[in-house]
A and B are shown apart, each in its own frame.
Chain A
Amino acid sequence: MIDFALGDELELVRATARDFATDQLRGALRDHESQRELAADVHQRFAEIGFATLEWPEGLGGSDLGSLARCVVAEELAAGCPGAALALDPLGPALYPLLELGGSAALQDFALPLLTTPGARALLVWTGSGSRARLEESGGSVTGQVPWVPADRVDLLVGLDETGAWAISEGIATTRVRGAGLRAAGASSLQIENAPLRAHWREPAAAARALARARLYSAALLVGVMREAAEFSRDYAQQRTAFGRPIAHHQALAFLIADMAAAVDSARLLLWDAALALDAGEGAEERCAGAFLEASEQALFVTPNALQILGGHGFMQDYPVEKSMREARTLSLSWGGVDAARECGGREILEHTQPLALLAEGG
């Protein structure tokens, strides 16, 4: 029966992630952004907690806690700094093609070594519909360009499209770029010349699942980013006075703040709904696409308005909200962006006669 309680285990996971974000990330967010990396001890603490292997099977040393746990952790970390959340997670969303297409063997061969290499990063590149990456795979190698990845080093590059995935780890030249957002994770363009394929999997259904999980990961980061921006600007609006009262008590802002709170909660509920469907093994591609889309749209409503509430201060880098706005815009470009996600949901809905029926359709 309908129950929104996360349960003791996930509440503990959430509290741990929240504390980590508070202690290690939020206070240093501008340092992390300008240095484009995090200190070794932050990486070490992250590894000790076991956040990187939350979704890994227990047989490979993971905690097999599923997608809901990932969503909870990613939101909390991104509320601290989404770039740092990516920098700290050696696999990030690149885990999903390995897991869905390659299985345990791929985790063992490709992922496990990265966990023990300090600062190592695996990157996922979407090469399907909506991508601006230009990569061609032929004759057992990959050639082409990727305009941007949120990293300054690439130990493993996983390409994913509608039909399957591949993995390479050599022949990748990185050129540092400034990056519009997520700079704490780094920012590079990639030039790839005849990089030999280490693996190549073709399985459209599994590729769709991997994409769904990648979208969910980004959606969770977006929820964290917008939550932080909403709360920061709300606190500010209660302290800043204009025309004799806190600006939050002018109805134009009071209503906006209410709508921002509703935006964050709506996005989070769709996120959890999708994670639950994924964890139950239901076909969840459409829900994950919807969660990503909702998180993107709402974050692009919330974060510019958070900046707006701070007025001139919001535009200055003394405050974190301008960063939130850039992070939100950048995150929502992932995996073909919002249009690709819209297309996923829009195609799927036509297969239904009663897409939101409380009881199984027609049953």
Chain B
Amino acid sequence: MDLSLDAPLRERLAGIRALGAGQIRPLGLEADRLGRPTPPDHDFFKLLVERGQGRTRWKGEEADDSKVREAGAQVGDSRSFLCVSEEMSYWDRGVAVSFPGPGLGEPPLLSMGTPEQRRRFLGPFLEPDRPRWGSFAMTEPSAGSDVAGIRATARKQGDHWILDGDKSFAANASRADWIVVWASVDTKLGREGHRAFVVERGTDGLGDFSVERKMGLKAYESTSFTLRECRVPAANLLGGEAHYAQRAGFKGAMRSFNATRPMVAVMAVGIGRAALDESLAFAREHDLGDDPRVRDRLERCRRKLRAARLLCWRAAWLADHGQPNILEASMSKAVAPVAALEAASLGMELLGEVGARGDHLIEKLFRDVKAMDIVEGTGQIQRILMARHLVGLPRD
């Protein structure tokens, strides 16, 4: 057993820390103050691309063998990935999501896409000429965690698919080169009817982009959009028809969720950590450390965040070794956001009226962190998934 971080990872983390203090956190505070996402033409994104960010984890066609495909490209390094995510979120989770790159569209492309689709859609992210984004759209106004309930439809017409529906809360959607959109060929079939399409920017019928107004995490855009008689080439059906003949569309979607639960959970740890550090700084500055109630709460926040991080790491470690991690992944996701919200909320208590002013970093973190108990499956959904494993809770 070992809980140390290896040297290459520590080096990466040191780089993020420098970028975080100098750019990421100030940018997050600015976006929060201005109440808008960082615009896509911001110099920060160009700087990131110059520094080698915004790239795909896909290794190119040479590495595109069946092993990488099966593994979804995460096997082996999700622990490092987790630590990087935590550190980014520590500086600003909203800015972290706004980073250029294929984003949440990448896992389904890696796990379900054909070699040709990976070349077309991930290829431009190998050595990007400019900041580029990919996006992912499953959620709809009336279907969140219960993805079986999506209403967007897809019908075949010649060598095209016609998509109709409304999508909500898709990160970076209006600036993305393409969006992986989930729709149903027959809503009566539930998950069996799901298909994923890569919908490219400028496709006729893709539009009405509306950047939502959020409580926090304002640095990245959460965007709703519509599909109206949207004509998508048949070649953009993710995995091709054969893929769906082999297995239900839902499994692909669930698989990408599985890979990301501990990652989203550890982002919450990062936010909570930021709140804890700020709380400590405030307590020190105002001599609050003599109060045992204050000390007790700081101690509790550290302990709960530490436990949450260990739960995340364990889930990632299992994934790295090809072992089932559904229970552990859901557990990390159920626990971490609650611990992080508690840390931010405690910070507000220490600040008192200073927090009530609405211009302190802790107050921003308090608003930011709540989303972490919702995205990638709410805490309640995680408990349902856990209960299926623990006591065989039936699906219906």
Pick from B17, B307, B392 the residue with the most CB of A within 10 Å: B307
Tell me whether B331 and A358 are in contact (CB under 8 A): no
Is the CB–CB distance between A356 and B309 below 8 Å? yes
Q: For the complex formed, measure the closest distance between the CB of B62 and the CB atoms of chain A, giving whole angstroms.
A: 27
The answer on a CB contact under 8 Å between B384 and A1 is: no
Minimum CB–CB distance for A160 against chain B, Å: 22
Asked if A118 is at the interface of the complex by the 8 Å CB criterion, the answer is: no
Instruction: Say yes or no: B391 contacts A234, CB within 8 Å.
Output: yes
- Cβ of A234 and Cβ of B307 under 8 Å apart? no
Indicate if B208 sits at the interface (CB-CB under 8 A): no
Residues of A within 8 A of B14 (CB): 359
Chain B residues near A68 (CB-CB < 8 A): 1
Contact of B281 among A2, A259, A261, A353 (CB under 8 A): A353
Using A290-B299, A356-B306 as known contacts, say yes or no to A266 and B79 having CB atoms under 8 A apart: no
Tell yes or no: B302 within 8 A of A by CB.
Answer: yes
How many of chain A's residues have a CB under 8 angstroms from any CB in B? 49
B251 within 8 Å of A by Cβ? no
Given A270-B303, A294-B303: A353 and B280 interface contact (C-beta under 8 Å): yes
Chain A: CB-nearest residue to B290: A350
Within 8 A of A (CB), among B83-125: 83, 86-87
Question: For B9, what are the chain A residues with a Cβ–Cβ distance below 8 Å?
Answer: 1
**B386 and A258 contact, CB distance less than 8 A:** yes
How large, as a class, is the contact surface on chain B? 35 or more
The answer to whether B335 touches A249 (Cβ under 8 A) is no
Q: A255–B383 contact, CB under 8 A? A: yes
With CB as the reference atom, state the residue of chain B lying closest to A5.
Answer: B1
A270-B310 in contact (CB<8A): yes
Residue from A238, A262, A265 within 8 A of B391 (CB atoms): A238
Q: How far, in angstroms, from A343 to B292 measured CA to CA in the complex?
A: 8
* A345 interface residue per 8 A CB criterion: yes
Given the known interface contacts A266-B307, A294-B307, A358-B83, the answer about A4 and B280 at a Cβ–Cβ threshold of 8 Å is no
Among B192-200, B220-228, B311-319, B355-363, the stretch in contact with A: B311-319
A355 in the interface (beta carbon within 8 A)? yes
Q: How far is the CA of A347 from the CA of B299 in the complex (A)?
A: 8
Within the complex, the shortest CB–CB distance from B17 to chain A, in Å, comes to 7
> Could you tell me the distance between the alpha carbons of A106 and B227 in the complex, rounded to whole angstroms?
78
Q: Is B13 an interface residue (CB 8 A)?
A: yes
Q: Distance (Å) between the CB of B115 and the closest chain A CB?
A: 32
With beta carbons under 8 angstroms apart, the residue of A248, A266, A342 that contacts B393 is A248
In the assembled complex, which residues on chain A have CB atoms less than 8 Å from the CB atom of B276?
355-356
Give the contacting residue for A356; candidates B302, B311, B317, B382; CB below 8 A: B302
**CB proximity to B under 8 Å, residues A268-283:** 269-270, 272-273, 276
When C-beta atoms are compared, the residue in chain B nearest to A279 turns out to be: B1
From B10, B79, B300, B313, residue with most partner A Cβ within 10 Å: B300
Please name the residue on chain A nearest to B310 by beta carbon: A269
The residues of A that contact B10 with a CB separation of less than 8 Å are 359
CA distance A261 to B326 in the complex (A): 14
A108 contacts partner chain B, Cβ-Cβ < 8 Å: no
B177 close to chain A: CB less than 8 A: no
A288 to B92, CA, bound (A): 31
Would you call B43 an interface residue if the criterion is a C-beta within 8 Å of the partner chain's C-beta atoms? no
A262 touches B5 (CB 8 A): no
Alpha-carbon distance A1/B276, docked complex (angstroms): 25
Closest to B6 in A: A1
Query: How far is it, in angstroms, between the C-alpha of A295 and the C-alpha of B295 when the chains are bound?
Result: 19
CB pair A248 B306 closer than 8 Å: no
Cβ contact of A350, chosen from B295, B331, B383, cutoff 8 A: B295
| Chain B: minimal CB distance from A339 (Å) | 9
- Do A342 and B309 have beta carbons less than 8 Å apart? no
List the A side residues contacting B390 at CB < 8 Å.
234, 248, 254, 257-258, 261
Q: What are the residues of chain B within 8 A of A251 when measuring CB–CB? A: 384, 387
Is the C-beta of B298 less than 8 angstroms from some C-beta in chain A? yes
* Pair B4/A1 contact, Cβ less than 8 Å: yes
Contacts A3-B1, A68-B1 given; indicate if A359 touches B13 (C-beta within 8 A): yes
Cβ proximity bits A351-363 to B, threshold 8 Å, 1 near / 0 not: 0111111110000
Q: 8 Å CB contacts to A: which residues of B178-231?
A: none
| A204 on interface, CB distance cutoff 8 Å | no
Q: Known pairs A248-B392, A248-B393. 4 more at Cβ < 8 A? A: A68-B1, A270-B307, A293-B303, A342-B296
Q: List 26 A-B contacts (CB under 8 A).
A: A1-B2, A238-B391, A248-B390, A251-B387, A255-B387, A257-B391, A261-B327, A265-B328, A266-B308, A266-B311, A269-B311, A269-B314, A273-B3, A293-B299, A342-B296, A342-B299, A342-B300, A343-B295, A346-B298, A349-B298, A350-B289, A355-B276, A355-B280, A355-B302, A356-B302, A356-B306
User: Which B residues fall within an 8 A CB radius of A?
Assistant: 1-6, 9-10, 13-14, 17, 79, 83, 86-87, 273, 276-277, 280-281, 283-284, 289, 292, 295-296, 298-300, 302-303, 305-311, 313-314, 316-318, 327-328, 331, 334-335, 380, 382-384, 386-387, 390-394
